[in-house]
Chain A
Amino acid sequence: GAVVSQHPSRVICKSGTSVKIECRSLDFQATTMFWYRQFPKKSLMLMATSNEGSKATYEQGVEKDKFLINHASLTLSTLTVTSAHPEDSSFYICSASGGGNEQFFGPGTRLTVL
Protein backbone atom coordinates (compact mmCIF):
# COMPACT_ATOMS: atom_id res chain seq x y z
CA GLY A 1 0.00 0.00 0.00
CA ALA A 2 0.84 3.70 0.17
CA VAL A 3 1.79 4.17 -3.43
CA VAL A 4 2.35 7.60 -4.88
CA SER A 5 2.68 8.17 -8.58
CA GLN A 6 3.94 11.11 -10.56
CA HIS A 7 3.31 12.02 -14.13
CA PRO A 8 5.16 12.63 -16.32
CA SER A 9 8.37 10.94 -15.25
CA ARG A 10 10.36 13.04 -17.65
CA VAL A 11 9.57 16.21 -19.57
CA ILE A 12 11.54 18.43 -21.89
CA CYS A 13 10.14 21.82 -22.76
CA LYS A 14 11.14 25.07 -24.37
CA SER A 15 11.97 28.12 -22.35
CA GLY A 16 8.89 30.22 -21.65
CA THR A 17 6.38 27.40 -21.65
CA SER A 18 4.52 26.04 -18.63
CA VAL A 19 4.73 22.49 -17.41
CA LYS A 20 2.29 20.66 -15.16
CA ILE A 21 3.36 17.75 -12.97
CA GLU A 22 0.77 15.52 -11.33
CA CYS A 23 1.15 13.69 -8.05
CA ARG A 24 -1.39 11.05 -7.10
CA SER A 25 -1.84 8.90 -4.04
CA LEU A 26 -3.15 5.66 -5.45
CA ASP A 27 -4.38 3.75 -2.45
CA PHE A 28 -4.85 6.22 0.36
CA GLN A 29 -6.22 9.67 0.98
CA ALA A 30 -3.47 12.22 1.25
CA THR A 31 -4.47 15.03 3.55
CA THR A 32 -1.14 16.69 2.94
CA MET A 33 1.14 16.65 -0.07
CA PHE A 34 4.64 18.00 -0.31
CA TRP A 35 6.70 19.15 -3.26
CA TYR A 36 10.47 18.90 -3.23
CA ARG A 37 13.16 19.91 -5.63
CA GLN A 38 16.44 18.04 -5.95
CA PHE A 39 19.53 19.18 -7.81
CA PRO A 40 22.04 16.59 -9.07
CA LYS A 41 23.84 14.83 -6.24
CA LYS A 42 22.13 17.06 -3.73
CA SER A 43 19.49 16.58 -1.10
CA LEU A 44 15.79 17.30 -1.28
CA MET A 45 14.71 20.86 -0.69
CA LEU A 46 11.11 21.34 0.39
CA MET A 47 9.33 23.79 -1.89
CA ALA A 48 5.83 23.79 -0.50
CA THR A 49 3.28 21.97 1.60
CA SER A 50 -0.31 21.70 0.47
CA ASN A 51 -3.39 20.57 2.30
CA GLU A 52 -6.44 19.47 0.39
CA GLY A 53 -8.76 22.36 -0.34
CA SER A 54 -6.51 25.11 0.94
CA LYS A 55 -3.68 27.23 -0.39
CA ALA A 56 -0.20 25.81 -0.36
CA THR A 57 2.38 27.01 2.12
CA TYR A 58 5.59 27.90 0.33
CA GLU A 59 9.08 27.74 1.80
CA GLN A 60 11.15 30.85 1.94
CA GLY A 61 12.67 31.72 -1.40
CA VAL A 62 10.17 29.73 -3.47
CA GLU A 63 8.14 31.91 -5.83
CA LYS A 64 4.47 31.05 -5.46
CA ASP A 65 3.60 32.69 -8.76
CA LYS A 66 6.16 30.62 -10.57
CA PHE A 67 5.42 27.29 -8.93
CA LEU A 68 1.65 26.98 -8.80
CA ILE A 69 0.36 24.21 -6.59
CA ASN A 70 -3.17 22.90 -6.61
CA HIS A 71 -4.40 20.23 -4.22
CA ALA A 72 -7.95 19.85 -5.42
CA SER A 73 -8.69 16.40 -4.02
CA LEU A 74 -7.40 13.98 -1.43
CA THR A 75 -5.61 11.99 -4.10
CA LEU A 76 -4.23 14.60 -6.48
CA SER A 77 -1.89 17.54 -6.28
CA THR A 78 -0.40 19.37 -9.24
CA LEU A 79 2.68 21.52 -9.57
CA THR A 80 2.79 23.89 -12.52
CA VAL A 81 6.08 25.48 -13.40
CA THR A 82 5.08 28.64 -15.21
CA SER A 83 7.20 30.33 -17.85
CA ALA A 84 9.93 27.78 -17.32
CA HIS A 85 13.57 28.76 -17.75
CA PRO A 86 16.70 26.59 -17.96
CA GLU A 87 17.46 27.25 -14.28
CA ASP A 88 14.18 25.52 -13.42
CA SER A 89 15.59 22.27 -14.79
CA SER A 90 15.66 19.87 -11.88
CA PHE A 91 14.24 16.71 -10.39
CA TYR A 92 10.88 17.37 -8.74
CA ILE A 93 9.60 14.88 -6.18
CA CYS A 94 6.25 14.87 -4.46
CA SER A 95 5.28 13.07 -1.31
CA ALA A 96 1.99 12.43 0.40
CA SER A 97 0.94 11.93 3.97
CA GLY A 98 -2.26 10.47 5.30
CA GLY A 99 -1.71 12.03 8.70
CA GLY A 100 0.73 9.52 10.13
CA ASN A 101 4.46 9.77 10.69
CA GLU A 102 5.52 8.89 7.21
CA GLN A 103 5.61 10.63 3.90
CA PHE A 104 5.29 8.41 0.86
CA PHE A 105 7.32 9.60 -2.06
CA GLY A 106 6.59 9.57 -5.74
CA PRO A 107 9.18 8.41 -8.27
CA GLY A 108 10.03 11.96 -9.31
CA THR A 109 9.81 14.01 -12.49
CA ARG A 110 12.88 15.15 -14.35
CA LEU A 111 12.29 18.53 -15.96
CA THR A 112 14.64 19.81 -18.61
CA VAL A 113 14.06 23.30 -19.94
CA LEU A 114 15.85 24.08 -23.18
Chain B
Amino acid sequence: SQQGEEDPQALSIQEGENATMNCSYKTSINNLQWYRQNSGRGLVHLILIRSNEREKHSGRLRVTLDTSKKSSSLLITASRAADTASYFCATDASGYGQNFVFGPGTRLSVLP
Protein backbone atom coordinates (compact mmCIF):
# COMPACT_ATOMS: atom_id res chain seq x y z
CA SER B 1 0.00 0.00 0.00
CA GLN B 2 1.11 3.55 -0.64
CA GLN B 3 2.30 5.26 2.47
CA GLY B 4 4.29 8.18 1.17
CA GLU B 5 2.02 11.12 0.55
CA GLU B 6 3.27 14.29 -1.04
CA ASP B 7 1.83 17.67 -0.35
CA PRO B 8 1.01 19.70 -2.35
CA GLN B 9 0.09 17.56 -5.32
CA ALA B 10 0.72 20.44 -7.68
CA LEU B 11 2.80 23.57 -7.22
CA SER B 12 3.31 26.47 -9.59
CA ILE B 13 5.95 29.13 -8.87
CA GLN B 14 7.96 31.78 -10.64
CA GLU B 15 11.57 31.26 -11.60
CA GLY B 16 13.86 32.29 -8.77
CA GLU B 17 11.41 31.42 -6.02
CA ASN B 18 11.86 28.55 -3.62
CA ALA B 19 9.73 25.41 -3.87
CA THR B 20 8.87 23.30 -0.86
CA MET B 21 7.32 19.87 -1.12
CA ASN B 22 6.33 17.68 1.79
CA CYS B 23 6.05 13.96 2.21
CA SER B 24 4.37 12.04 5.00
CA TYR B 25 4.52 8.36 5.73
CA LYS B 26 2.94 5.96 8.17
CA THR B 27 5.39 3.26 9.24
CA SER B 28 8.99 3.12 10.44
CA ILE B 29 11.64 3.58 7.80
CA ASN B 30 15.34 3.01 7.35
CA ASN B 31 15.67 5.84 4.86
CA LEU B 32 13.67 8.12 2.64
CA GLN B 33 14.63 9.05 -0.88
CA TRP B 34 13.51 11.80 -3.22
CA TYR B 35 13.27 11.32 -6.94
CA ARG B 36 12.54 13.55 -9.88
CA GLN B 37 10.68 12.55 -13.00
CA ASN B 38 10.42 14.58 -16.14
CA SER B 39 7.24 14.00 -18.12
CA GLY B 40 7.22 10.55 -19.69
CA ARG B 41 10.69 9.71 -18.47
CA GLY B 42 12.31 7.54 -15.83
CA LEU B 43 13.18 8.56 -12.31
CA VAL B 44 16.32 10.37 -11.32
CA HIS B 45 17.60 9.90 -7.79
CA LEU B 46 18.04 13.21 -5.99
CA ILE B 47 18.92 12.54 -2.41
CA LEU B 48 18.73 9.89 0.31
CA ILE B 49 18.28 10.73 3.97
CA ARG B 50 18.63 8.09 6.64
CA SER B 51 16.34 7.79 9.64
CA ASN B 52 19.08 9.04 11.97
CA GLU B 53 19.66 12.17 9.91
CA ARG B 54 17.66 15.35 10.17
CA GLU B 55 18.86 17.38 7.22
CA LYS B 56 20.88 16.94 4.05
CA HIS B 57 21.96 19.29 1.32
CA SER B 58 22.88 18.74 -2.28
CA GLY B 59 23.42 21.83 -4.38
CA ARG B 60 20.14 23.74 -4.43
CA LEU B 61 18.32 20.90 -2.71
CA ARG B 62 17.68 20.69 1.00
CA VAL B 63 15.91 17.72 2.54
CA THR B 64 14.71 17.46 6.09
CA LEU B 65 13.39 14.44 7.94
CA ASP B 66 11.32 14.43 11.10
CA THR B 67 10.83 10.84 12.19
CA SER B 68 8.67 11.86 15.13
CA LYS B 69 6.18 13.38 12.71
CA LYS B 70 6.92 10.83 10.00
CA SER B 71 7.44 13.57 7.47
CA SER B 72 10.08 14.91 5.13
CA SER B 73 10.40 18.04 3.07
CA LEU B 74 12.27 18.84 -0.11
CA LEU B 75 13.26 22.45 -0.67
CA ILE B 76 14.51 23.62 -4.04
CA THR B 77 16.05 27.06 -3.78
CA ALA B 78 16.29 29.62 -6.57
CA SER B 79 14.15 27.49 -8.86
CA ARG B 80 14.69 27.37 -12.60
CA ALA B 81 12.35 26.51 -15.44
CA ALA B 82 14.38 23.31 -15.89
CA ASP B 83 13.26 22.20 -12.42
CA THR B 84 9.76 21.66 -13.81
CA ALA B 85 9.04 17.98 -13.16
CA SER B 86 7.25 15.65 -10.79
CA TYR B 87 8.94 14.92 -7.49
CA PHE B 88 8.36 11.73 -5.55
CA CYS B 89 9.38 10.57 -2.14
CA ALA B 90 9.99 6.89 -1.58
CA THR B 91 10.34 5.21 1.78
CA ASP B 92 12.58 2.22 2.37
CA ALA B 93 11.84 0.24 5.50
CA SER B 94 14.38 -2.48 4.80
CA GLY B 95 17.50 -0.42 4.27
CA TYR B 96 18.44 -2.75 1.44
CA GLY B 97 16.78 -0.90 -1.40
CA GLN B 98 13.80 -3.23 -1.31
CA ASN B 99 10.10 -2.57 -1.08
CA PHE B 100 10.13 1.11 -1.89
CA VAL B 101 6.79 2.78 -1.33
CA PHE B 102 6.26 5.84 -3.46
CA GLY B 103 4.05 8.76 -2.68
CA PRO B 104 1.67 10.25 -5.27
CA GLY B 105 4.16 12.96 -6.17
CA THR B 106 4.16 16.72 -6.48
CA ARG B 107 3.99 18.23 -9.97
CA LEU B 108 6.15 21.32 -9.90
CA SER B 109 5.83 23.96 -12.60
CA VAL B 110 8.42 26.73 -12.63
CA LEU B 111 7.30 29.59 -14.81
CA PRO B 112 9.92 31.71 -16.59
Contacts and interface: CB of A to CB of B under 8 A. Distances in A.
Interface of A: 4, 6, 32, 34, 41-46, 49, 91, 93, 95, 97, 99-108, 110
Interface in B52-100: 88, 92, 95-100
A38 to B, nearest CB: 9
User: Which 5 pairs show the lowest CB-CB distances between chains A and B?
Assistant: A107-B42, A105-B43, A97-B97, A105-B42, A44-B102
Contacts of A101: 30-31, 33, 48, 92, 95-97
Contacts, number: 62
Given A102-B48, A108-B42, 19 more contacts: A4-B42, A6-B42, A34-B100, A43-B88, A43-B104, A44-B88, A46-B99, A46-B101, A49-B98, A97-B98, A99-B96, A101-B30, A101-B96, A103-B97, A104-B45, A105-B43, A107-B41, A107-B42, A108-B40
Contacts of A103: 97, 100
A41 B44 CA distance: 17
Q: Which of B42, B95, B100 has the most CB of A within 10 A?
A: B42
Contact of A108 (B35, B41, B88): B41
A99 B88 contact: no
B87 to A, nearest CB: 11
Interface of B: 2, 30-31, 33, 35, 40-45, 48, 88, 92, 95-105, 107
A95 B35 CA distance: 13
A34 B100 CA distance: 10
Nearest to A5: B42
A49 B98 CA distance: 8
B104 to A, nearest CB: 5
A89 to B, nearest CB: 14
A74 to B, nearest CB: 15
Nearest to B2: A43
Contacts of B35: 105
Given A32-B97, A99-B96, A101-B92, A43 B42 contact: no
